[in-house]
Structure 1
Amino acid sequence: MRYFLEVAYDGTRFHGWQVQPNALSVQEVLDDCLRKVFRLAEVETVGSGRTDTGVHATQQWVHVDLPRAHEPEEIQYKLNRILPQDIAVGQVKPVGPEAHTRFDAVSRTYEYRITLEKNPFLVRQAYYLSRKPDVGQMNQAAQALLQLEDFTTFSKVKGDTKHYRCTITHAQWLQEGNQLIFTITANRFLRGMVRLVVGTLLDVGKGKLSPAQFREIIERQDRSLASGAAPAQGLFLHRVEYPERYFQHQLALFEQAVASQAEEA
């Protein structure tokens, strides 16, 4: 039986979401807990997206197959009992056998958080700037993200991406108290893209680039023109969305799968 798990985590001590050799990842810890809780020899989780070393998530959807049906509340309770403090499971959704957290997602939203005051309680969750950048100029520059679609400029050189086209539907800076929050939504993102976008927009805010130059950097599709990536601790995978009524439809498919399994037994 397949389930979607809504997972949140503080990525500070992890080398990203995905399992990798000789480095602790969020996926590795979650998989280990799933094996222990449900007494499985093997388990394979699939995340809705990757996050890099030090990057956080307020909503990362993960799907996993279990041998039999369980109450969603049971899965959530048992996992949260043994997961470390920096990983938590929220909603648990029963879905059909073909549901896929990554391929079925229609949009993803990231947030980048900057603190304008030195705050020891935000050291791991925000990037500290001692001087406020020009938010108006950064928002003017960010409009180019909505008008263009090839973001080769903001891709990692050694990525395995087949193409660099993304449809960005929202990109805006807002100030909330002493924090600046950049929110960006797209159908897909390139690896490391958001931090490169933020780093380059901050150069606009610091007066090093104009909004017109920011647009030109994107249009020239030259990775060397992008500014340095913003630090990882300010970035959050904030929200992953699926088609309208997706989970209602998937619940019906899940119930069909349960009925079919019962008949076979």
Structure 2
Amino acid sequence: MSESKRYFLDISYKGTRFHGWQIQENAFTVQEALEAGLSTYFRTPISVMGSGRTDTGVHASMQICHFDTEQEIDREKFIRAINGILPKDISINSIREVKADAHARFSAKSRSYDYRMILQKSPFVEDYVWRHYFNPDISRMNEAAKILLEHTDFECFSKVHTAVKHFRCEIKSAHWEQKDGELQFHITANRFLRGMVRAIVGTLVDIGLGKMEPEEMHQIIESRDRKKAGKSAPACGLFFSRIEYSEDIYLD
């Protein structure tokens, strides 16, 4: 019998019709579709572990997951074939062999999300952006975003009743920019809480619209109360965009 090998898959997906990443009863998820496709290709049950969960309607321009198999893989043939099997809203971008103890979730050094807003109606991107009707002040939002880096407990931005041991995250960068006719928010951290990025975006937009002052971000975070923060931004504008690993986990 051949020795089992572990592989990292770099995948992208449009989250519009999926109920998030993680398999759950009575709902169609990305993980379910991916495992079904891999199991069809290898003709044996295959399970995958993702680097992080995305909620219903959230997209991923980059998601990493790992799986194990004893079968030899012709990578070019595999990518062509598996993309033919998977639904049109999921694509496999690359596959790399990793060390046996490498883990898509626990080996990750950082994760990044992008959030996209537009201020003018566009029928071509409506599934991927938050169409906003008012123009928030990007300088005020960036002033408030800098405050995120001064804190580590983000319970105020977490969904309630979530099964986590703590609410500490190390935010490494967070900023807004105007790009390609959009307002885009970029944030990188070692980990994220459920619903955290959308709650942050909603709060920052409120600040950009003058509903709160930038320095109030301190009080919101220190309150540890979800009700003190703004409403969550719509899922359609959020993209899981990057995961970083140490290069020494890769075998190719």
Q: TM-score, normalised by structure 1?
A: 0.91
Separation in structure 2 between the aligned mates of residue 250 and residue 113 of structure 1, nearest angstrom: 32
1:250 aligned to 2:250? yes
Farther off after superposition, 221-230 or 136-145: 221-230
Deviation, structure 1 residue 158 = 0.8
3-state secondary structure, aligned to 1:121: coil
Separation in structure 2 between the aligned mates of residue 89 and residue 100 of structure 1, nearest angstrom: 18
1:111 is aligned, of 95, 104, 114, to 114
Amino acid at match of 2:190: N
Deviation, structure 1 residue 70 = 1.0
> How well do the aligned residues superpose, as a CA RMSD in angstroms?
1.0
3-state secondary structure, aligned to 2:175: strand
Q: Write out per-residue CA displacement over residues 80-126 of structure 1, whole angstroms, 9 at most, x where no aligned residue.
A: 11111110000100112211000000000000000111001111000
3-state secondary structure, aligned to 1:251: coil
| Correspondence for 2:141 | 138
Separation in structure 2 between the aligned mates of residue 163 and residue 71 of structure 1, nearest angstrom: 42
Asked if structure 2 preserves the Cα contact closer than 8 Å seen for 1:108 and 1:185, the reply is: yes
3-state secondary structure, aligned to 1:140: helix
1:201 aligned to 2:169? no
Quick check: which has more Rg, 1 or 2?
A: 1
Separation in structure 2 between the aligned mates of residue 212 and residue 95 of structure 1, nearest angstrom: 44
Structure with the higher fraction of residues in helix conformation = 1
2:8 is aligned, of 4, 9, 12, to 4
1:231 is aligned, of 216, 230, 234, to 234
Deviation, structure 1 residue 226 = 1.2
Farther off after superposition, 139-148 or 214-223: 214-223
> Share of identical aligned residues, percent?
48
| Correspondence for 2:179 | 176
| Correspondence for 2:36 | 32
Farther off after superposition, 118-127 or 71-80: 71-80
1:56 is aligned, of 47, 54, 59, to 59
Unpaired segments ≥5 residues, structure 2: none
Deviation, structure 1 residue 131 = 1.8
3-state secondary structure, aligned to 1:203: helix
Q: TM-score, normalised by structure 2?
A: 0.96
Asked if structure 2 preserves the Cα contact closer than 8 Å seen for 1:2 and 1:97, the reply is: yes
| Correspondence for 1:96 | 99
1:124 aligned to 2:127? yes
Amino acid at match of 1:213: E
Separation in structure 2 between the aligned mates of residue 151 and residue 96 of structure 1, nearest angstrom: 33
Q: Write out per-residue CA displacement over residues 3-26 of structure 1, whole angstroms, 9 at most, x where no aligned residue.
A: 100010000000001111000001
| Correspondence for 1:263 | none
1:218 aligned to 2:216? no
Q: How many residues of Structure 1 are paired with residues of Structure 2 in the alignment?
A: 248
